[in-house]
Structures are given as C-alpha cells and as structure tokens.
Amino acid sequence: MPQHAPNTPVCRDCDGFATAAITTGIRHHDGTRATLRVACPTCKGTGHTPQAASLIRIGR
C-alpha cells in the first residue's frame, strides 16, 4: 500500500522559501560576512500556509 503524505499548502507570499539570508556588507574578523536571517511574516518561517487562515469566513 502506498503511504500518503498530508497535503500542506505552500505559503503564497514566499512560495515555500520561508527564510532569507541578507548580507550586511560588513565582514567579521575571520573574513566571513555578517548576515541577517529574515523570516516570512505571513507563515512566520514555516513555508506553509496556516490552516486557520484558510478557514476564515467573511460576511454571512
């Protein structure tokens, strides 16, 4: 029997790429670059759409 994975919808704002590393242009003493990690504000870094957002009903 095949195993079925749960269908979790991908976030429409980040397309599943929930975090990004942005370089600041500054280098550390060992020569590596200083980076900032920024998470998607919609999915909060998970890459998936929250289930509660898809169940909200507007109007009557």
The model's pLDDT over 13-35, given as tens digits with 9 standing for 90+, comes to 888 888 999 999 999 999 999 99
Model confidence at 51, in pLDDT bands (50, 70, 90)? low
Torsion of CA 25, 43, 10, 53, to 10 degrees: -160
Measured CA distances, 32 to 24, 26, 29, 39 (Å): 11, 9, 8, 22
Model confidence at 52, in pLDDT bands (50, 70, 90)? low
Average pLDDT of the chain to the nearest whole number: 82
pTM for the whole structure: 0.57
Does residue 19 contact residue 35 with C-beta atoms inside 8 Å?
no
The answer on pLDDT for 54 being more than 60 is: no
In angstroms, the CA 50 to CA 11 distance is 8
The answer on pLDDT for 48 being more than 80 is: yes
The number of angstroms, rounded, from the C-alpha of 52 to the middle of its chain's C-alpha atoms is 16
